[in-house]
Amino acid sequence: MEVTARCGVMGNNLYRLVSPNTWTDENGRFSLPVDFPDISYNVTFRYRYGSRREMKIIPIETGQLQVQLAIKTSQIVRGQVVNGSDLSPVSGATIRYFGEYQKFVIERITDENGLFEITELPLSEFQGVIYAQLNEQVSPATMVRYRNAKKPVNVKLKLKDGAELRGIVKSELTDEPIENCTVSVTTPYMSGYSMQTTTDSNGLYMFHDLPPAEYKITAQNQNYFKYEKNSHSLNNEIKLSSGQYFQKDLTLKKRMTFTGKVFDFHGEPVLGAIVAIDEAHVSDNKYSPFVVHTDENGNFSITTGRIDTKPAPKLTEIDTIVHKTGEDAIEAFSSTAGYGRFRFSPYREGNVVKQVEIKLNGMIRVHGKVTDPNGNPVPEVKIYDNTGFEASSQTDKQGEFDLGIIPIRWPEKDQGSITFLAPRPEGNQVINQRTAIIKNSESENVEVGFLHHKQLHYSIEPGNDIELNVVLEPTELITLKGTVLYDSGLPAEGADITLFIGNADPNTWLQTLHPDVSSFSIITPINDRDICKTKTDNNGFWKITTTRETKEGIKLSYWSNKDPNLFSIGIETPDKQTTLIQDIILDNNITKREIDVKLSDKNEKPLIKIHR
């Protein structure tokens, strides 16, 4: 089982650095040291990237953890390894299965009949790479894809002579060989299959007994990287056959270097801050993170493969004063002084940029208590800080919460905001716990203590300890019900009923459901989201009971200023007739509305209607 501790640092490389992970041993135990014991972490327990559980932990307050996780596996790969010449079964061969996106590697040994079986593949696994090897004999690397989770995948692997790949790695600028350079071969399609070797003092690398396959070659070390003009470049891809010898020389570009200093928000140098490059495509070879820590004077020196092939722009007087910003940045983080970044534009091969100054923005702590108007604590309120980091919490039985120490991400913002999502006891199938569906639909007068969502703002000042005592106001329930019938009087059984807040956009609604019959084209993102769903019964009857929200509560979930008294309903029958009913107004004094819909008979051509 994989265990990952994630804190709220958002940069690509820095996020990974302060989010360590490990695996449990055969007894289910794990040990996971963290760099910042006073920062809150979301700890994720995940089995082979399938079944998972997550909890919030502040390490300084945490003892031994007890976690139970239901493991569900479904994908099965089985097969046989045979000799490539006479197809006789091969016992004792090693099977290696590489999970998708470098998730994991599983090994098996074939039995006396050359058979093997892998049964630990999770539901989320869609493909992988597998091969077999015995001494110098190796099978081709084979892609395994899953089409049916309940049906095992059977493969037959034939052992043949492996391929050999070698070459010289040189500097593109000086033509000198590069030693201690890591050379990797991977399959060009997405998988975890990868092999590495290191160049010697003459820049020579060698791979022996490679499984026949199509390979992509990359090379790098802390000073050099292989630059590709685009991600689909073919000049570093080769196809190796059984017993083939192939030579591929590589030329690398020199990385650029930043040197500078990290300060806290008081202007004092920060010792031990983590410094990393945050770039748009960190998965690319040239963006491999090289991580450093500041010394006692706050100094650092860090390299990156960032490069620009365009001519260098002429600097103006303004350019020399104000540094031009680009998409990329150097990030720095300290558990005592917070987070900061230095944005930079593309630089050329081998450049050294000096006197980079990164000022950290400081930290704040946010905690408090949530009650109802009578002063009773409200447990299970989900709380999210929206200042730019993943800070979240949930109230306990006493209604108390603690978001912990939060790094300030954007120094130009003087206000932060916190979202309080009230519990929705019956809303497990509803987006963002936005609303609640009352399961006991026969009891219209049931009293359920639902509360409105809420959002609060607070002043952002480094070092502040912010205590928030929040009161959530009660909300009433509203009920919409009706029937969906055909003109003949027959019920439309099994029709999908979707309730929207506000008037759902008809173009988006129709194009989403029926792109084959709609003449509309979507050129903007879909902004309308459903808040409740149900189906008609065998009499065509449907019913939705949900909470009435305020404009503030609606805005929390959908980031738009909707009218809390305005609704629309989309209906789609099993024979694909679609009706969108808009302008359903439930003023504050109205809690119930009946909506009956008549549709064309089943044997007629499906219709699309919009009612207002």
Q: What is the pLDDT of residue 192?
A: 72
Q: What is the pLDDT of residue 80?
A: 96
pLDDT band, residue 448 (cuts 50/70/90): very low
Q: What is the pLDDT of residue 487?
A: 87
- 124, 135: one domain: yes
Q: What is the pLDDT of residue 529?
A: 53
As a whole number, mean pLDDT of residues 262-281 equals: 83
Of all residues in the chain, what percent carry a pLDDT higher than 70?
Answer: 71
- 212, 180: one domain: yes
- 55, 77: one domain: no
Task: Decide which of 120 and 548 is more confident.
Answer: 548
How many domains, in total, are found in the chain?
6
Least confident window among 263-267, 523-527, 607-611: 523-527
Residue 68 lies in a domain: no
- 262, 250: one domain: no
Q: Which two tokens stand for residue 227?
A: 């630059």
Q: What is the pLDDT of residue 133?
A: 94
Residue range of the domain that includes 534: 477-611
Least confident window among 28-32, 370-374, 562-566: 28-32
Cα(581)–Cα(608) distance, integer angstroms: 11
From 129, 161, 193, give the residue that closes a domain: 161
- 458, 438: one domain: yes
Cα(549)–Cα(564) distance, integer angstroms: 6
Contacts of 333 (CB under 8 A, 6+ apart): 9, 14, 18, 273, 274, 339, 340, 360, 407
- 323, 448: one domain: no
pLDDT band, residue 386 (cuts 50/70/90): confident
Least confident window among 138-152, 324-338, 384-398: 324-338
Residue 124 in contact with residue 49, Cβ under 8 Å? yes
Residue 46 lies in a domain: yes
Q: Is the pLDDT of residue 429 over 50?
A: no
Least confident window among 251-265, 370-384, 420-434: 420-434
Q: What is the pLDDT of residue 291?
A: 75
Long-range Cβ contacts of 29-34 (<8 Å, 24+ apart): 30/1, 30/3, 32/3, 32/5, 34/5, 34/59
Q: What is the pLDDT of residue 208?
A: 92
Global pTM reads 0.66
Residue 114 in contact with residue 155, Cβ under 8 Å? no
From 105, 132, 161, give the residue that closes a domain: 161
Residue 67 lies in a domain: no
Q: Which helix (H) or strand (E) holds 558?
A: helix 551-558
- 580, 546: one domain: yes
Q: Which two tokens stand for residue 222?
A: 């802390």
Which pLDDT tens digit goes with each residue over 300-342?
A: 998 877 665 555 444 444 333 333 434 567 889 888 898 888 8
- 521, 605: one domain: yes
Q: In what order do the strands lie in the sheet with 21-23?
A: 21-23, 2-6, 41-46, 52-57
Residue 66 lies in a domain: no
Least confident window among 207-211, 430-434, 532-536: 430-434
- 57, 137: one domain: no
Least confident window among 189-193, 211-215, 537-541: 189-193
Task: Decide which of 132 and 392 is more confident.
Answer: 132
Task: Output the domain CATH number for residue 527.
Answer: 2.60.40.10
- 586, 462: one domain: no
- 104, 224: one domain: no
Of all residues in the chain, what percent carry a pLDDT higher than 90?
Answer: 27
Q: What is the pLDDT of residue 508?
A: 63
Q: Is the pLDDT of residue 274 over 50?
A: yes
Cα(440)–Cα(423) distance, integer angstroms: 18
- 546, 579: one domain: yes
From 329, 359, 389, give the residue that closes a domain: 359
